[in-house]
Amino acid sequence: MKQPLDVFYHLMYEHGRGLRDLALYTIHTDQVDTVKQSLELEKVAYLFKKLDDGRVNVYFGHEACVNIVNSFGSCPHFQHTPEQDFMLGIMLGYDRTRQCERYLARKEAHQPSLPDCAKTDKVCKTCIPERDAAHTIA
């Protein structure tokens, strides 16, 4: 019978062997201490984020990757900007082509909220703050 944290330990193994820059695993709150001890013992950077259902997402891997995830704030994944979603998927090792397709689809879905000049390749310096504000999730 499999132990509840077998996948977590496998992800740690892959990170230790250089196969993953960043990993994401969802645990129950009663597993936080065990996971934290394992990560600290191996000197692996980590970040815990509570979910609405009471579980916890643990991101772990290279410190720079964990810091980027931390910079996204506390919003749930579905509220990430297309750029944040793309970066997270790439760091987690998801298929690059599918991440590009996902990014383009999410970007297209955000297009209606952008001013016309932001929908082109031209850069309009007066509209950049408006465009960036349109992508800010409160």
Q: For the packed helices 6-16 and 32-41, what is the interaxial angle rounded to 10 degrees?
A: 20
pLDDT at 110: 79
For the stretch 75-130, pLDDT in tens is 888 888 999 999 999 999 999 999 999 999 999 887 666 555 444 544 444 444 44
Domain-located, residue 129? no
Residue 19 lies in a domain: yes
Say if 26 falls within a structural domain: yes
What would the DSSP string read from start to end of 56-72? EEEEEE-HHHHHHHHHT
Residue type, 11: L
Residue 128, domain member (yes or no): no
pLDDT at 113: 60
- CATH value at residue 48: 3.30.2190.10
Task: Tell me the one-letter amino acid at 84.
Answer: Q
For residue 73, give both structure tokens.
């704030």
Considering its fold, how many domains does the chain have in total?
A: 1
Q: Which structural domain, as residue segments, surrounds residue 45?
A: 1-71
Residue 77 belongs to some domain of the structure: no
Q: Which of 53-57, 67-71, 91-95, 131-135 has the lowest mean pLDDT?
A: 131-135
